[in-house]
Structure formats: C-alpha cells, structure tokens
A = this chain, B = another copy of it.
C-alpha cells in the first residue's frame, strides 16, 4: 500500500478515536453500557436485538442505533417493541464510525444505568478497526456460516470479547462441527466468552442476559 494511503488511514483512525473517546466519556457519566454488535450480513443481529431489548426494557432504559447501507427496516423493527431507535444509513460506507454514533446520540434519550445497543453494518472486515465509544464489541456468528470464519476473519474475532453463536436451532439441519468452531474461535481469541443461542427457541438467552447484567455493573 502507498505511504500516502497508509498516512490517510492513520489520520482517519486517529480522528475517529478522538470522537470515540468523547462518546465513551459521555456515556460513562450516565453509567450507560454501550455494545457494538458486529457480524456478517444476515447473521440475525436484528432478530436477536428485538428479542433482547424486549426482555431488557422491563428493568433498564434501553435504546438502539442501527447501521445499514440503505433502508430504515431495522430501526422500524426495534421501534415496534416500544424501544427508541435511530437508523444510520452509511450509503457507500462499509462501517459505522464514532462521529455517526455521536450524532445519533443527540436523537436518543439519556440512558442512566441503561444499555445502548449499536448494530453495525453487516461486515466481518472493516468495522473491526473503528472504535465507536463502546465498552466492547459483541460478535454474532451464525452457525450457518461454517466453522472456519474465525480463522478467515481473525481481526474481527480478536476485537470482540463475546461471541454469540447464533441460529443454533438450525444445527440439526447443518453439517456444522461445533467442537471445531469453538477451537477456531479459541485459536484467534482465547479470552472470548462464547454463548450458543437461538432467537427462535430462546436457547442461550438467559446466559446472554446475565452477561449483559455483569457488564452493566462495570459501566
């Protein structure tokens, strides 16, 4: 890669990190937990979020920022649960950045001791490098995608502290080697927490909600 491109990339990341730090400070004043959900397109992030915020809203303030190249379909699905949501359309862009999140926060209520869910653009590459001011990234890895994705997209799997193995209800219909998938995750990120779950059957949701509560206690 040319030096000029590398320098520009560093400038962009430095600018992003500056805004992300500001977002993080702002959220900390309210003890708001912010999670940055990343995955391939079609891993089931929105269905997972609909189910998650429906459970969370009973005992914590919660809101969602939705990222997509186009459409406001996802924000509409979240709002149908009664939870506030802001849709960001990135157009040609392949990831959210901290400036977009900062602007979206102006359209959301404060969330004291609550949870802000940020659903990134479906992309296992580019969002890995962009801090949005979140406490941590949560990677949603659908079992339909095959066991080897952690090895092929190691940056993203290393950037996440929690991997949700999603769509586990489909396991009986797939040739998916769970032991190999777990080994692939461990190989690139030995410290990641891993929770198998299904938004269809509810399997794994108790563990996922417990994990969120543990993170809230630290926010």
Contacts and interface: CB of A to CB of B under 8 A. Distances in A.
A183 interface: no
Nearest to A89: B152
Contacts of A133: none
A92 interface: yes
A5 B8 contact: yes
A94 interface: yes
Given A155-B69, A173-B170, A146 B94 contact: no
Given A125-B121, A126-B126, A153 B8 contact: no
Interface string A114-148: 00000001111110010000000000001011101
A161 interface: no
Given A123-B123, A146-B42, A154 B4 contact: no
Interface of A: 4-5, 8, 12, 40-42, 44, 68-71, 73, 92-94, 121-126, 129, 142, 144-146, 148-149, 151-155, 167, 170, 173-174
24 contacts: A5-B8, A8-B8, A40-B42, A41-B149, A42-B144, A44-B146, A68-B152, A69-B152, A70-B152, A70-B154, A71-B152, A92-B155, A93-B125, A94-B94, A94-B123, A122-B124, A122-B153, A123-B123, A125-B126, A142-B144, A144-B144, A144-B170, A170-B170, A170-B174
